[in-house]
Structures are given as structure tokens and as C-alpha cells.
Amino acid sequence: MKLLAPGTELDGFTIEECIHAGGMAHIYRVRYTEGARDPGFALAMKIPRMTAGDGAENIVSFEVEHQMLQVISGPNVPRFVAAGDLDHVPYLVMEYVQGQTLQHWLDLPERAPMEELARLGAAVALAVHSLHQQNTVHLDLKPANVLIRPDGRAVLLDFGLSCNALYPDLLAEQLRKAVGSPTWIAPEQVVGVRGDPRSDIFAIGVMLYELCTGELPFGAPQTQGGLRQRLWMDPTPPRKLNPQVPEWLQEVVLRCLEPEADQRYPSAAHLAFDLRHPEQVTLTARGRKLQGTGFWIHFKRWLKAAGMHYQPSPLPSQQIDEVPIVMVAIPNKDVQDATLYSLRQAVARALGTRPGARLACVTVISPGETSGSSVETSETHVHRHHLASLRQWAQPLDLLNHQASYHVLESGDVAQALVAYAGGNHVSVIVMGAATHGLLTQRFVATVPIKVAMDAPCTVILVKQALPFERLIEQAAKLKPLWNRDLDAPF
């Protein structure tokens, strides 16, 4: 379809200007024709290309995006407004989002600071996590399809290749493999598997790699053979290309780019957590290496990939539930051993059946604790003391299949600090001690556990304290004479 001239009217919308002319669609700024209602935000209209030389995938992608925009919502996607009839003029009208795409940072003359790149990556990961919670996988993430709002939040664009687990996959029905942009496509997509949320995590890794180094981890292959190389090959370590990349960030990027989906982050929320808490990233040889993987390792992977059968993952939302971020609130004043013991037992139960779940141990201190001028009351000393206490508390836990991190928050409002932390880090479950006050008191005074339970954006498990070992031993000593009595003797 030829470009529409400004002033053209179409189904109650007036064309203003063409803001993008791509290979699959034209995008225009539009407004409601005078006299119609105002939605309260700017509008954009997307019209697929339908010339004789354009493939059928343009129409299929239009149908997919039309379907997706009606079933997804939230601040990380444009708001859907209207759609045109395929028999007349197909179009999609949606919110026009102000901001800059990630391509802006790639085009800068100088590379942005690593802290800013990590912030951008975390914003994208949180947006992707929101999408996965709605059982939708984007499958075409690239710099041009990620917009950063002025407030720092990411908005995902172009859902023409997406997949929603609850609706028919129109592109899969076309029986075509490697649906996606070759530069950012994940290994499992290369062999035709769609619907795995970890494919989007791979694409985020590609974008972070390019932001850090200025180069693409796998180039821009144009053949099926070139695409298949990512089933077994590792990219050059980012720190070899740019020594300014810190080890923790290389660890994160290369974990996203693992050939096997099981070796990547289990959810985009876990990825965002590491990008927002670099001091908590567990370093392995992956983050420290400066040389690429050797030939024999790649050869073994090639043999394995030749016979590998990729299987789609469960529902994206179900997979997120299976690898939650569990937060435990550890009190640091007037706490009994029974409470600490009971919290540990509850956390062990929450993690035990969920390999890959993450544990965040959090304690809240008052600002007054770090307001002194002596060494003992300095912020660094106080934080180190509480961090050491958190690690000591967690030491008896079996964390072999779990990542754990430790956080000291400063706030005069303990409940609000815990709720804000849980919301900002997409925590799935909060484990904390129940109030020790009686029910009568709680009717008049809202305790910290009650406030958290009322305001938390996730499940809250309130744990009642169990008897500590000392009490158990005392009770056992009292019962010992009964155990030693003659079984035939009357009670």
C-alpha cells in the first residue's frame, strides 16, 4: 500500500505524518477526526505493507499483533485503541509512546557508563517479565522494538512474531522455522520451538552484549547454517572486547547467552534482580574469562546439538511460579532463637521443591543506627555487621540449587520498606514472623506483619515461632522418667 498523505481520513482517524517506513509496515501519527472523542493520549497507526512483492507473513504478523494487543496490558506495552478490517484497509491504532529506543544508546559516539547500561537492561527485563506473567513471549526483541520512557521504564513494541500460550500460534501453523530477526534469535527458535520465555532472555543478552562492546555476539547470519552455530558456540567474552566491562556484568550477559535454555536465567525477574544488585551476583569462571571457549568444547557441543530435541517450556506464567523470588524478612532486634529457627524452617520448605528459586534475605534498620561519628556506628560498619548476621542465619540452609542474596535496608517505616522492596524486585513470596502481640492488641495497633500482609503485591507467609531446641531438651528431661518406667506398670 502506498504512503498516505497527511490529512487523509480513514475510519474516523486523520493521518498526520509518517514516522516510520519499515519492511513490513508503515507507522503514522494520527488523531481522531475533529468532533470525535479524545482518548487522552497521542495515537499511532500501523498499516502493514501489502504490495505484490510482499510476503504473506506481513498479513499473518498483522493478525498476530492485533490478537496480542487485545490480550496484554500494563505500562510496558502500548494501549490498544482500534483495528481496521482486512477486507478494506488493515490497520492498528494504539498509543503513541514518547521515548527513545535502545538504538539511541547504540548510536551514541561514546559508550554509556556500565551503570546506565545495567539500568537499561533491568528496565527491559522487568518489562519482559510483565509480558511473561500474561503468558506472552515476545520472540522479536531487538533495540528498535524497545522504547525507554523519560521516567526510565521500558515499553515493548511490535508483537507481530509473538506467541500467547492461551491462543493459537498463527506463525507456528505456517510450519516455518527460525521465525525472528537473525541477529537476536535464540537457539531454540532456530529449530522451530516457540513459546519459551527464556528465548526473550537470550535476546536481552544479545542487546546487552552489543551495548557493552559495540559488537554483536553472533554477527548477523543470513543462512540457516550460520544461525545454527549459536546452538553450540559461545561469543567472545565481552571483557576481551571492552576491558571496562566489570566481571559481574559479563557473568550476567554470558548467562543470558547460554546455548541451552536451562542454563540461562529461569525468569526475566531473576535477570532484573542481578542487574539491579550487582554486588550480589555470584561470579563463576564465566564472568572472569578473557579467552573464548576452545575448539574441543565447541566440537562436543556441536555433536550434542546435532541430536538435540528441543521441547517448549510450560506456560510462561507457570514457569515463573516454579522459580519464584522468595524474600525472608529477618528481624535484628529483640528476636528469639525460636523465631529465627521457625523462619529458617519455613524458607527451607518454600525453596525445597523449587530448584532455581532465589532467596533474598532482608533486614531493616533505623536511620539512627548509622548516624554516629564513631567507627562502630558508621554506615559501612553497621551494614557489614547486619550482612554478616544474615549470612550466618542462612548458613544452615541447603542453597546448592538456589542463589541467595543479602540486603540491609534503612527506613523508619519497616513495613513500607519491606513492601517497596518486594514490589521493586518482583518478589513472589514474603516469609516473615507473625506478630507476637495478642489478637486484641492487633485490633487497635496495626503491627508490621499485618501492614505487610495488607499492602504486599505478593503472597505473604506469616510464621509462628516454634519451640527452640533448649526448650525441647528441657521438656525431654521432664519426660525421661516416664519413658524409663516399666511398661507393665500402671500409669
CATH of the domain at 39: 3.30.200.20
Amino acid 490: pLDDT: 40
Contact call for residues 466 and 338 (beta carbons, < 8 A): yes
For residue 18, how many other CB atoms are within 10 A of its CB? 16
CB 146 within 8 A of CB 156: yes
Determine contact, residues 188/199, Cβ cutoff 8 Å.
Answer: yes
In sequence order, what are the residues at sequence separation of 6 or more whose Cβ sits closer than 8 angstroms to the Cβ of residue 72? 131, 134, 136, 159, 164
> Within a domain: residue 491?
no
Q: Cβ–Cβ contacts within 10 Å for residue 47, how many? A: 21
Written as nine digits, the cell of 477 is 528431661
- Domains held by the chain: number: 3
Per the CB < 8 A criterion, the answer to whether 298 and 256 are in contact is no
Joined grid coordinates for residue 258: 547460554
Which stretches of 72-186 are DSSP H helices? Answer: 103-106, 114-133
Residue at which a domain ends, from 267, 294, 317: 317
The contacts of residue 196 (CB under 8 Å, 6+ apart) are 137, 186, 188, 261, 312, 313
Q: Are 207 and 189 in contact (CB under 8 A)?
A: no
Q: Does residue 479 fall inside a structural domain?
A: no
Shared domain for 227 and 359, answered yes or no, is: no
Same-domain check for residues 226 and 136: yes
For the chain, how big is the Rg over CA atoms in Å?
27
Cα 48 to Cα 6: distance, rounded to the nearest angstrom: 18
Domain range spanning residue 445?
324-470
Q: Look at residue 96 in the predicted model and tell me its pLDDT.
A: 95
pLDDT score, position 289: 92
Are the beta carbons of 255 and 268 closer than 8 angstroms?
no
pLDDT of amino acid 486: 46
Q: Strand, helix or coil at 471? A: helix
* Residue 422 CA, distance from chain mean position: 14
Residue 258 within any structural domain of the chain: yes
**Nearest of 16, 18, 69 to residue 47 by alpha carbon:** 18
Contact call for residues 220 and 183 (beta carbons, < 8 A): yes
Whether residues 260 and 283 fall in one domain:
yes
pLDDT at residue number 176: 52
Count of positions (residues) in the chain: 491
Q: How far apart are CA 417 and CA 332, in angstroms?
A: 15
Grid-cell match 528498535, residue found: 144
Quick one: 141 and 164 in the same domain?
Answer: yes
Last-in-domain residue among 69, 95, 121 = 95
Amino acid at 293: T
Last residue of a domain, one of 56, 76, 95: 95
Q: Are residues 242 and 328 in the same domain?
A: no
Q: Are residues 206 and 231 in the same domain?
A: yes
Return the DSSP state at 262.
G
Q: Tell me which residue has cell 495497633.
A: 445
DSSP 293: P
pLDDT in tens, 81-118: 999 987 788 899 999 999 999 999 999 999 899 999 99
Four-point Cα dihedral 170, 171, 174, 178, nearest 10: -170
Please report, for the domain that includes residue 240, its CATH number: 1.10.510.10
Question: Does residue 63 belong to any structural domain of this protein?
Answer: yes
Examine the domain organization and report whether 106 and 183 are in the same domain: yes
Neighbours of 366 (CB within 10 A): 14
pLDDT for the residue numbered 280: 92
Q: Is residue 1 part of a domain?
A: no
SS3 410: strand
Considering the domain architecture, whether residues 255 and 349 belong to the same structural domain is answered as no
Are 66 and 193 found together in one domain? no
User: For residue 442, what is its C-alpha cell?
Assistant: 492487633
Asked if residue 425 and residue 399 are part of one domain, the reply reads yes
Q: Cell match 530435541: residue?
A: 309
Residue 485 lies in a domain: no
The partner residues of 136 in beta bridges, in order of sequence, read 164
Domain assignment present for 32: yes
Q: Which of 113, 141, 111 is nearest to 128 (CA)?
A: 141
User: Is there a contact between 21 and 15 (Cβ–Cβ < 8 Å)?
Assistant: no
**One domain for residues 163 and 21:** no
Q: Do residues 347 and 404 make contact, with C-beta atoms less than 8 angstroms apart?
A: no
Q: Are residues 144 and 289 in the same domain?
A: yes
pLDDT per position as a tens digit, 354-408: 788 999 999 999 887 766 666 666 778 888 899 999 999 999 998 888 889 999 9
Q: What is the CATH number of the domain that holds 395?
A: 3.40.50.620
Asked, for residue 141, whether it belongs to a domain, the answer is yes
H or E segment at 380? helix 379-394
Residue 460 C-alpha cell reads as 505473604
Residues of the chain predicted below pLDDT 50: 175, 438-444, 482-483, 485-491
